[in-house]
A and B are shown apart, each in its own frame.
Chain A
């Protein structure tokens, strides 16, 4: 059973590397933010799996909770920041030029 959890954790690590491609080469800033959010969700699961593999579930669950909360706050903070600094994103004012609102 430990081998199964190890295989699942390795698969999730490989998917994290795939998502990191979008984080590095993403065309806009928002693509990078999505990529970091997805990586954070995967990391929460990987931490719980590590706790199960090591047999210390009671300790690693708390770290996992903290990681989930931090991931949520980081995503909301960057979204709020982008609402006030609109000039960062390339291709801005697309809707205003066409009169769509």
Chain B
């Protein structure tokens, strides 16, 4: 039961990682790429690490396994807080530097 739950969590996380990578490759602009990676990467990392923490408890609830699972959930929580912060900082830097936003050709004139 725990194994099936862990597989579902990890597969969903890898799906979001794939979406974030495709967005990073295909979007036309710095801000659009930030939009894709800032959300998809955070959710993918959170789901994958939650799945790993669940699977780690598969061999019985010993004290060591519970402590390792708590550490994994700490990483997930840290990424969930730190990744949007880093995204905000880089976007602020881009805005202050004045990176040119993408517009449709001809719509600007």
Contacts and interface: CB of A to CB of B under 8 A. Distances in A.
Interface of A: 1, 4, 8, 11-12, 15, 18-19, 21-22, 28, 30-31, 33-35, 37-38, 41-42, 44-45, 48-49, 52, 57-58, 61-62, 64-65, 68-69, 72, 75-76, 78-80, 82-83, 86, 88-89, 91-96
By Cβ-Cβ distance, the 5 closest A-B pairs, closest first, are A79-B89, A75-B86, A94-B98, A72-B82, A89-B97
Interface of B: 3, 7, 10, 13-14, 17-18, 20-21, 24-25, 30, 33-34, 37, 41, 44-45, 48-49, 52, 55-56, 64, 68, 71-72, 74-75, 78-79, 82-83, 85-86, 89-90, 92-101
A38 B16 CA distance: 12
Contacts of B30: 28, 30-31, 34
A19 B75 CA distance: 22
Nearest to A85: B97
Interface residue SS majority, chain B: helix
B64 A8 contact: no
B75 A76 contact: no
